[in-house]
C-alpha cells in the first residue's frame, strides 16, 4: 500500500482504493474496486486532516448529501450504494462515472464546443433538472455549471455534486442559505451585495426558474467559451467579472434560435424566464426554427394558405381532394421509409445509431400516432441483445412524439414490451456482463413502462379496450412491485416509517413470481431474458446482508429463504442451454457468472443472518420454529 496516498488500502473490508480521481477543499474522491464482485465504484472521503467543529459539520453535510441522493432515480444521476462511517471519517460509495467535467474538456480544447453538441447536452440537462423539479417535495439543484457536468464517451452527460440542493418546503420560499457559484447562480440566489448578508430574505423565491437561469449561463459558456471569473475590487471584496453579450456577437455563425433561448433563460427578472425545464427543453429541440427568418416564412405560408382557401371556398370538393392527395403523399413516404428501414443495416459502431434506427425514427416523426414504427424501432434495439444508455436516450426522445398514442388499442402491449426489453437488456455492457448492479438498474429503468401498462388498462375487466393478454397485465403489476421495492424501502426509511410491510410485500411477489416461472409450462414462461433478470434480482437480494436482515425482521424464516434459493438455482439451471447458445453466449454467459457468484455468497449470508444468536436477539430475526419478536 502507498502510505502517502492511501492507494491500495481496503475500505470496509471490500472496497480497495485504486487511484485518486478528484479532490476538494475538505474531501477526496477515490476510484475503488469491489473485491467481491470486481466492480468499480467512486468513493468520497473526508480528508483525514479535517477535524474539530469544521470536520463534524463536513461529516454531517456529506452524510446528508448521500442520504439525499439515495432517493433519486435517474440515469443522469450517480447512485449512492453505501455509506460507511468508521468514526474517524466517512466514506460514501457511489456509481463511478467514466468521463470528464465539461469545464475541463473545454479548457483542454482551448475553444468553445460545437453548437449541436451544446444543444444536445442542454436537452439532457433539462431532462434531469425537470426530474428533480417534479419530485415531491420539489428539489432545486442550485449549482448548475460546466464543472458539475460529466461528459461520457458516448456523448451523454451526468450531473454530480448535490451538496447545495434545496427541497422546497410548504410555506417557505427558500431555506435561507446563500449558496451556489457566482456568475452561474441566479441574481435572486446570490444577491449583488452578498457580502453584507448572512442569509436570504425569506420572501425571495427559489424555484424552477433558479435552475433555468444557471442552465442558460452554462449553455452560454459552453457555446461561446466565455466563463464567469471572480475579481477583487479596491476594498478586497470579490465580484464576478462577466458580461453576457448575445452569443452571435462572439460568433455570428451561431443560431439565432439558440441565442433567443439563452436570452430568455437568463433574464434578471425570474418572471421573464422559462417557467419550467419542459418549456426550455421544448425550445431547445426546435432551436433552428426560432429565427426571424423562420417566423417570416411561416407568416408567408399562412398568407398563401388563406389565399388558397379563399380561392377554394367555392369548391369544397377540391379541398377534400387536396387533403386526400396530401395524406396519400405522406402515406407513400411513410411506406417507403418503412420498407427501406426493413432492408437497412442494424449494425452499430460504438453507441451510434444504425441506419435502420435512423429510418424508423424518421418514420415515427412522419406518423407519430402509429404503433408500428415504435415497435420496429424497439426490435432494432433488441437486435444485439443489449439496450445501451445511448439507445435509451434516443428511444425516450423518439417516444416524445407519442402524445396521442395512448388512445391506440396496442399502446399497453407496446409499453409492456418496452418494459420487458429494459428488464432483459438494459445495463449489459459491450463485452457482455453487467454494469454496476445491473439487475436492479434494469428493473428501475423498466418500472415507468410497467406503470404505463397499468395506467392504460385501468381497473376495468376489459382493460379499457386495450389489446393485451391478462397474463401480461398481471406480470406488469408484479414487475412494478419488484422494481419499486428499492425506492419504497429508502423512502420509508427517510420518512421514519416502518419498512416491514415493504419487505413482506416484495418477498411475496418475488417468491410467487419465481415459483410461477418454475412451475409454468414452457409455453407460459416469460422470455428468457426477463427470467435471467428475475433470477439476478433474487440472487443479488439474497446475497445482500442488508436486505436479508430486513426480510428476517419482517418475519421471513430461514427455511423460506432457503426455499427461494433452491427455486432460483433450479430456474438458473433450466436456462443453462439458453445461456450457452451461440447467439446469446457473448451477452448472457458473463451475466450467468455474476448470478453464480451471488448465489455462492447466499449460503454464507443466510448463516450469518440467521445463525448468529446475538444478532438474532438484538435484531428480532426469525429462525425456524420461532415467532417473530
Give, for 511, the enclosing helix (H) or strand (E): helix 500-519
What pLDDT sits at residue 482? 67
Phi, psi of 20 (to 5 degrees): -90, 130
Over residues 251-270, the mean pLDDT reads 92
Grade residue 484 by pLDDT with cuts at 50, 70 and 90.
low
CB atoms within 10 A of CB 267: 17
**422-439 pLDDT per residue, tens:** 877 786 654 444 434 556
Report the alpha-carbon angle 383-385-388, nearest 5.
95
Over residues 147-151, the mean pLDDT reads 93
Does position 485 have pLDDT exceeding 80, yes or no? Answer: no
Of the given ranges (2-6, 28-32, 76-80, 483-487), which has the lowest mean pLDDT? 2-6
Averaged pLDDT score across all residues of the chain: 79
Over residues 97-109, the mean pLDDT reads 91
Does position 477 have pLDDT exceeding 60, yes or no? Answer: yes
Q: Is residue 83 helix, strand or coil?
A: strand
Residue 101 · residue 149 · CB < 8 Å: yes
**Closest alpha carbon to 274 in 207, 341, 223, 194:** 207
**Closest alpha carbon to 595 in 515, 533, 530:** 533
Does position 618 have pLDDT exceeding 70, yes or no? Answer: no
Of the given ranges (1-5, 354-358, 497-501, 595-599), which has the lowest mean pLDDT? 1-5
Dihedral angle computed from the Cα positions of residues 563, 566, 568 and 570, in that order, rounded to the nearest 10 degrees: -140
Over residues 118-124, the mean pLDDT reads 94
Over residues 107-125, the mean pLDDT reads 93
Q: Label residue 8 left, alpha or beta by phi (over 0 means left) and psi (-120 to 50 means alpha).
A: left
What pLDDT sits at residue 292? 61
**531-573 pLDDT per residue, tens:** 877 888 888 888 888 788 888 888 899 999 999 999 999 988 8
**Closest alpha carbon to 516 in 484, 457, 471, 556:** 471
* Helices 277-284/115-133 angle, 10° precision: 160
* Helices 355-366/371-382 angle, 10° precision: 160
**444-467 pLDDT per residue, tens:** 778 788 888 888 888 788 888 899
Spell out the residues 6+ positions from residue 572 whose beta carbon is closer than 8 angstroms to its own. Answer: 535, 592, 595, 596, 599
What pLDDT sits at residue 149? 95
What pLDDT sits at residue 580? 72
Q: Which fold has domain 10-95?
A: Phosphorylase Kinase; domain 1 (3.30.200)
Over residues 297-312, the mean pLDDT reads 52
Grade residue 150 by pLDDT with cuts at 50, 70 and 90.
very high
What pLDDT sits at residue 428? 64
Asked if the domains at 10-95 and 100-291 fall in one CATH topology, the answer is no
Grade residue 172 by pLDDT with cuts at 50, 70 and 90.
confident
CA 14 – CA 188 distance, rounded (Å): 45
More confident residue, 341 or 61: 341
What pLDDT sits at residue 615? 43
Of the given ranges (337-346, 455-464, 523-532), which has the lowest mean pLDDT? 523-532
Q: Label residue 386 left, alpha or beta by phi (over 0 means left) and psi (-120 to 50 means alpha).
A: beta
Grade residue 146 by pLDDT with cuts at 50, 70 and 90.
very high
Does position 107 have pLDDT exceeding 80, yes or no? Answer: yes
CA 75 – CA 128 distance, rounded (Å): 8
CA 423: distance to chain centroid? 15
Does position 362 have pLDDT exceeding 50, yes or no? Answer: yes
Over residues 260-272, the mean pLDDT reads 91
Of the given ranges (245-254, 300-309, 583-592, 620-629), which has the lowest mean pLDDT? 620-629
What pLDDT sits at residue 494? 46
Q: Is residue 543 helix, strand or coil?
A: coil
**Closest alpha carbon to 412 in 456, 364, 447:** 456
Spell out the residues 6+ positions from residue 311 whose beta carbon is closer than 8 angstroms to its own. Answer: none
> In whole angstroms, how far apart are CA 544 and each of 429, 488, 532, 540, 599?
23, 17, 18, 6, 11
> In whole angstroms, how far apart are CA 325 and each of 304, 307, 329, 332?
18, 19, 6, 10
CA 506 – CA 538 distance, rounded (Å): 11
Cell of 283: 425550445
Residue 542 · residue 564 · CB < 8 Å: yes
CA 390 – CA 240 distance, rounded (Å): 37
Of the given ranges (63-77, 289-303, 355-369, 590-604), which has the lowest mean pLDDT? 289-303
What pLDDT sits at residue 414? 92
Give me the residue spans of the domains in the chain: 10-95, 100-291, 409-619
What pLDDT sits at residue 230? 67
Cell of 8: 491500495
> SS3 helix, strand, coil % of the chain, rounded to 5?
55, 10, 35
Q: Is residue 27 helix, strand or coil?
A: strand
Over residues 231-246, the mean pLDDT reads 71
Dihedral angle computed from the Cα positions of residues 529, 531, 534 and 536, in that order, rounded to the nearest 10 degrees: -70
- Highest mean pLDDT of the ranges 53-67, 447-461, 485-499: 447-461
Task: Tell whether pTM > 0.75.
Answer: no
The strand ranges marked E within 198-282 are: 229-232, 238-241
Q: Express as a percent the part of the chain with pLDDT over 90.
A: 18
CATH placement of domain 100-291: 1.10.510.10
Is the alpha carbon torsion for 608, 614, 617, 619 positive or negative? negative
Amino acid at each position: 500500500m502507498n502510505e502517502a496516498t492511501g492507494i491500495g488500502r481496503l475500505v470496509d473490508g471490500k472496497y480497495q482504493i485504486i487511484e485518486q480521481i478528484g479532490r476538494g477543499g475538505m474531501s477526496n474522491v477515490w476510484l475503488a474496486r469491489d473485491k467481491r464482485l470486481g466492480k468499480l465504484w467512486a468513493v468520497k472521503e473526508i480528508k483525514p486532516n479535517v477535524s474539530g467543529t469544521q470536520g463534524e459539520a463536513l461529516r454531517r453535510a456529506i452524510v446528508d448529501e448521500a442520504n439525499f441522493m439515495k432517493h433519486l432515480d435517474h440515469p443522469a444521476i450517480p447512485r449512492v450504494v453505501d455509506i460507511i462511517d468508521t468514526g474517524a471519517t466517512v466514506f460514501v460509495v457511489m456509481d463511478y462515472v467514466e468521463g470528464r467535467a465539461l469545464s475541463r474538456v473545454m479548457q483542454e480544447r482551448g475553444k468553445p464546443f460545437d453548437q449541436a453538441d451544446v444543444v444536445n447536452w442542454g436537452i439532457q440537462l433539462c431532462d434531469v433538472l425537470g426530474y428533480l423539479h417534479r419530485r415531491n417535495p420539489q428539489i432545486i439543484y442550485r449549482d448548475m455549471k460546466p464543472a458539475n457536468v460529466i461528459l461520457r464517451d458516448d456523448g451523454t452527460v451526468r450531473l454530480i455534486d448535490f451538496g447545495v440542493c434545496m427541497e422546497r418546503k410548504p410555506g417557505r420560499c427558500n431555506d435561507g442559505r446563500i449558496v451556489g457559484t457566482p456568475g452561474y447562480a441566479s441574481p435572486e440566489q446570490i444577491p449583488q451585495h452578498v457580502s453584507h448578508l448572512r442569509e436570504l430574505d425569506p420572501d425571495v423565491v427559489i424555484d424552477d426558474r433558479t435552475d433555468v437561469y444557471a442552465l442558460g449561463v452554462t449553455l452560454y459558456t459552453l457555446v461561446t467559451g466565455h466563463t464567469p471569473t471572480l475579481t477583487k475590487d479596491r476594498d478586497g471584496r470579490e465580484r464576478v467579472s462577466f458580461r453576457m453579450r448575445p452569443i452571435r456577437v462572439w460568433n455570428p455563425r451561431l443560431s439565432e434560435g439558440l441565442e433567443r433561448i439563452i436570452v430568455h433563460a437568463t433574464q434578471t427578472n425570474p418572471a421573464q424566464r422559462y417557467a419550467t425545464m419542459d418549456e426550455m427543453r421544448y425550445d431547445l429541440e426546435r432551436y433552428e426554427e426560432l429565427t426571424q427568418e423562420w417566423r417570416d416564412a411561416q407568416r408567408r405560408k399562412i398568407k398563401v394558405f388563406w389565399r388558397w382557401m379563399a380561392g377554394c371556398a367555392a369548391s369544397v370538393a377540391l379541398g377534400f381532394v387536396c387533403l386526400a392527395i396530401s395524406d396519400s403523399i405522406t402515406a407513400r413516404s411513410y411506406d417507403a421509409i418503412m420498407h427501406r428501414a426493413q432492408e437497412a443495416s442494424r449494425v452499430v459502431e460504438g453507441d451510434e445509431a444504425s441506419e435502420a434506427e435512423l429510418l424508423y425514427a424518421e418514420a415515427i416523426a412522419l406518423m407519430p400516432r402509429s404503433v408500428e414504427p415504435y415497435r420496429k424501432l424497439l426490435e432494432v434495439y433488441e437486435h444485439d441483445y443489449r439496450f445501451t444508455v445511448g439507445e435509451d436516450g434516443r428511444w425516450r426522445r423518439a417516444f416524445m412524439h407519442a402524445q396521442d398514442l395512448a388512445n391506440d388499442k396496442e399502446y399497453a402491449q407496446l409499453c409492456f414490451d418496452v418494459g420487458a426489453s429494459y428488464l432483459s437488456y438494459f445495463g449489459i455492457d459491450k463485452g457482455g456482463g453487467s454494469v454496476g448492479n445491473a439487475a436492479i438498474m434494469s428493473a428501475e429503468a423498466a418500472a415507468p413502462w410497467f406503470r404505463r401498462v397499468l395506467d392504460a388498462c385501468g381497473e376495468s375487466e376489459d382493460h379499457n379496450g386495450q389489446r393485451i393478454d391478462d397474463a401480461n397485465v398481471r406480470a406488469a403489476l408484479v414487475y412494478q412491485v419488484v422494481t419499486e421495492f428499492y425506492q419504497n424501502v429508502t423512502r420509508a426509511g427517510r420518512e421514519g416509517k416502518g419498512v416491514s410491510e415493504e419487505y413482506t410485500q416484495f418477498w411475496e411477489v418475488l417468491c410467487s413470481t419465481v415459483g410461477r416461472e418454475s412451475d409454468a409450462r414452457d409455453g407460459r414462461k416469460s422470455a428468457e431474458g426477463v427470467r435471467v433478470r428475475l433470477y439476478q434480482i433474487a440472487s443479488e437480494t439474497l446475497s445482500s446482508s442488508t436486505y436479508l436482515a430486513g426480510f428476517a425482521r419482517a418475519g421471513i424464516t430461514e427455511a423460506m429463504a432457503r426455499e427461494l434459493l433452491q427455486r432460483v438455482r433450479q430456474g438458473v439451471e433450466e436456462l443453462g442451454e439458453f445461456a450457452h447458445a451461440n447467439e446469446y453466449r457473448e451477452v448472457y454467459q458473463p451475466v450467468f457468472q455474476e448470478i453464480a457468484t451471488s448465489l455462492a455468497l447466499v449460503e454464507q449470508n443466510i448463516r450469518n443472518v440467521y445463525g448468529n444468536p446475538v444478532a438474532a436477539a438484538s435484531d428480532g430475526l426469525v429462525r425456524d420454529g420461532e415467532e417473530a419478536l
